[in-house]
Each structure stands twice: as structure tokens, then as C-alpha cells.
Structure 1
């Protein structure tokens, strides 16, 4: 998965990205709302996270990836991860704190939605936030996500309540409705 936005590039993680990912994952601020630990991670935990992202990319062709600015400097991670409980890909992002407040999260999330709908032809994408993460919720609302309420998901043997959102590919859904209506009209005699 390679995604470009006006100010960023997103590419798959590779083994040599561990040091950069450790920079992000050791930040208490950046990891405050990021599962499974909801706080800074050790290098070992971050290495496990990196391996998980690479395995997911190998299995699905998409995953969370390395986000850099146009100068090639690491600024965070973003992408998609499959959530089997809802059978959807989840959009997620996390930036180093020095890159907050510049509109980058909105730009990155918008670019990822565009990629999901126009390159992957997905009908919908989900997102989850932990209560208190208003910044991420604002980003999600700006790019078209709808909050559907709270939902419980298992996480490392615990049940965690999340604020649950979905974003819909209106073009794909409208086309599917038109096709279904056409099939219905062909199959039924509506003149009665």
C-alpha cells in the first residue's frame, strides 16, 4: 500500500523501521489512546507491533504503514487493519506530537479514505476511538465518518468499550442499489 497526500507519503513498514516506530511508540502522549497498552511501549512490544503490521500487510495487501513528510522524515504511522468482529477494515493513525495541530491527521485520514474507496473499492471502513480522544473524533467527523455509538471489542482477554464509527463509499453503495433494483425489476412483473 502506497498512499501520497499533499504533504505526506505512506508506505509499508519494513524491519529497518523499528527505530522510527520506537520513537512513536515510546511517546506517552502519542500512545495514550492506542491499544493494546494505552501508553508508552518497550522496544520489544514495539518490535512485536512492527512484525504484526508486516504480517497483516503480507496477508491483506494493506496495513498500518510508515508515514513520512515530503523530505522523507518519519512523522507517524497510519493505514488500515482488519477487524473480524465487524468484517471491515479499520482506519487508524498516530503522529509524533511535534506534528500535531497542523492538519496532518485530517489530510492523512482523508487520503486513506480516498485510497480505500477508489483503489480498493471498499464499500465502508470503520474507526474506533477511546473515550476522551476528541481530537481523533473531530478528524473522523471532518472526513465523513458517522458515530454509531459505543461497541465492545475483545482486547488481550479484556472487553474494551470503544466509540465506533463507519464511513461509507456512497458511489459504490448507490451503484449496488441500482443493480439490486434492476435485478428486482427484471425478476418481478410489476404491472399487476
Structure 2
């Protein structure tokens, strides 16, 4: 459910982006709806609403949610201020690379790697498996950032489609692969009952 909530601003961005740009009169002001810049404004507003609501309800946001919100505000704000979609094209790669950096730094800071801190309460794995899994996340985020950057500046007509559906597809495939890998390595610490 949490992953779906995180995708709400991105889905709204996609919907508004795909609309044919039209100017509407609202309270004496002309507002254009459709296209990259109105979609960016919707992305910023919906991110503030979604993460603001989560902050009020849960009384906290996860670090990744803070990073996503700040990236939306920063890159979206600069996109609107400079009226240039190039700034927004850098958001997904930079956020992915920052996540990769966070996972990499966890090998040197603290006693547990980041993936173990996130999932360790629910899954019991040998330390070497946690390390491999953490490295897999680093590689995934680096690859995802590079793929987003490549598509954004090489296939400009489809970069928004890729940002929404390509990134989501890559994430789902990675999660399925991770699930298969985890299933092979899970340990059951429950004591086995002896047969009399």
C-alpha cells in the first residue's frame, strides 16, 4: 500500500502531462492545463498533499519519502522557475543515485547494511546474504538512474512514459527477483520439535 501512495503524485503528473494543453479561466486568471509545466505544478502540489497527509497521520516520514518530496520541490520548482523541462529530466536519475549512495554508505556506517535495517524485522537472513542484497539494491538504483537519464535525453518523446511505466516495471521485476532470491536463503529460527 505504501508503494502505491508514493506513486500517486507521479500518476497525477502523467495524467496531466498527457492532456492536450488548454487555457482555462478560473477566478479571472488564465491557467493552462496539460503539458509538462502544468503537470510539474500538479506533481509539486500532489507531493505536498500526499506527504503532508502522511506526516500528519503517521507523525513521521521515512527518509526516502523526505528525499522524494525534497527532490520534487527542488527540481519541480526549478523547472517552473526556469521554464525548462531539462531540470525535471534530472530528478529521477539524481534521486536514484542518491538512494544508491545511501545503500552504499550503509556498508561503512552502522552495524547493519541499509536493506537489513529496512527488512531485518521481517526476514531472518545470513549476513552475507544481506550484504549481497544491499549490493543488488545499489546496482539497481545506479542502473535505474542511468536508464532514466538515457531515455530522457535520447528518446524525448517517450521519457515521461518511461519515467512512469518503465521505472515501475523495472522496480517490479527487481522486487520479483529479490523475492525469489530471498526465498532461497531464508532461515527459520523456530525451534524444531523433536519426535518421540
Normalising by structure 2, we get a TM-score of 0.32
- Which structure has the highest strand share of the two? 1
- Which structure has the highest helix share of the two? 2
Normalising by structure 1, we get a TM-score of 0.32
